[in-house]
A = this chain, B = another copy of it.
Amino acid sequence: MIKRSGRRRGSPDTRESILEAARRLFADKGFDATTVRAIASEAGVDPAMIHHYFGTKEELFRESLSIPFDPTTEIPKIVAEGLEHAGENLIRMFVRVWDSPLGGAGAALIRSAMSNEWTTRLLREFITTQIMRKVVIELKIDPAEAPLRASLVASQLAGLAVMRYIIKLEPLASLPVDDLIKAVGPNVQRYITGSLDAAA
């Protein structure tokens, strides 16, 4: 705490300095190789300040991308009623987040990831380390298959976000949530538990 200046302590700049340093390092070195200490050093603050503002390294990563949900608590809910309901529950949760005020943050993140190479890297790293890993653990699917399954699910969810919430293509954009679950849920379910080798 000695090296920090009085000005930085609790100043609004501090939080933004930490977030900027975190974005740079997570995008550049990846989540695993980036330590809280390195972020603190890059931001010119004490590591304790990072814990004070953001909690864990995972929470800081989420905050640096403005991810509007916590994978640690949300992913277990997807399989709470059994793996065979995971597709359905995932779409229900997805729509709940996107139809809420948090959807704006999601759209902003996707827009940014489309046009900014650093955000692209950050988002890719986030999906890989914060979502896919937890999916492997929580959904108890074969670790050898899990990355492909998770990236296929990600493709359907990203496309749903783009077409329903950003491009607003009808009738998908106005489809009631229960119809959306019936239409898209089984496809997501197949990516999670179905055979991916079956010919069309």
Contact = CB atoms under 8 A, between A and B. Distances in A.
A18 to B, nearest CB: 25
A171 B123 CA distance: 15
Contact of A157 (B114, B120, B159, B181): B159
Contact of A88 (B162, B196, B200): B200
Interface residues of A, number: 53
B198 A186 contact: yes
A163 interface: yes
A187 to B, nearest CB: 4
A111 B119 CA distance: 13
A115 B166 CA distance: 9
A171 B164 CA distance: 25
A124 B154 contact: no
Contacts of A188: 200
